[in-house]
């Protein structure tokens, strides 16, 4: 499928979406802050390359899922502005994906960093 926009315009749209998520997404800002804290700890404790790989992957996964969740919520609000059971289920299940990844990130962070404290 051919794009109607230049590659530069596509990047502009992506950065606008990121700006929207940062400025209006409280959860996204919290997740970025926690991700930056994990990166800071990684630098302080000089974690291994494999630990960096795991850390970067889980931080990225949480942020991607939050962006998808935010997108899905906006789409559901457009398609179903009235309160409906299916709309609630769609939003709750999308939020659950972020929750699962966030819990996994806590476990991964604990596996990487707890031994460094002792």
Q: Catalogue the active-site residues.
A: 66
**44 alpha-carbon distance from chain centroid:** 24
Say how far apart CA 62 and CA 19 lie, in whole Å: 17
Q: For the packed helices 49-79 and 26-45, what is the interaxial angle rounded to 10 degrees?
A: 180
Strands (E), 47-118: none
Say how far apart CA 62 and CA 74 lie, in whole Å: 18
Say how far apart CA 26 and CA 5 lie, in whole Å: 30
**CA neighbours within 13 Å on the CB side: how many for 107?**
6
């Amino acid at each position: 499928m051919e794009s109607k926009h230049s590659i530069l315009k596509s990047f502009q749209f992506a950065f606008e979406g990121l700006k929207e998520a940062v400025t209006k997404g409280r959860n996204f800002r919290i997740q970025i802050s926690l991700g930056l804290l994990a990166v800071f700890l990684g630098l302080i404790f000089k974690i291994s390359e494999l630990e960096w790989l795991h850390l970067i992957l889980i931080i990225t996964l949480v942020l991607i899922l939050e962006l998808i969740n935010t997108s899905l919520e906006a789409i559901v609000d457009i398609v179903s502005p009235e309160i409906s059971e299916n709309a609630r289920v769609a939003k709750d299940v999308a939020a659950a994906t972020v929750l699962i990844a966030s819990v996994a990130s806590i476990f991964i962070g604990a596996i990487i960093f707890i031994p460094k404290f002792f």
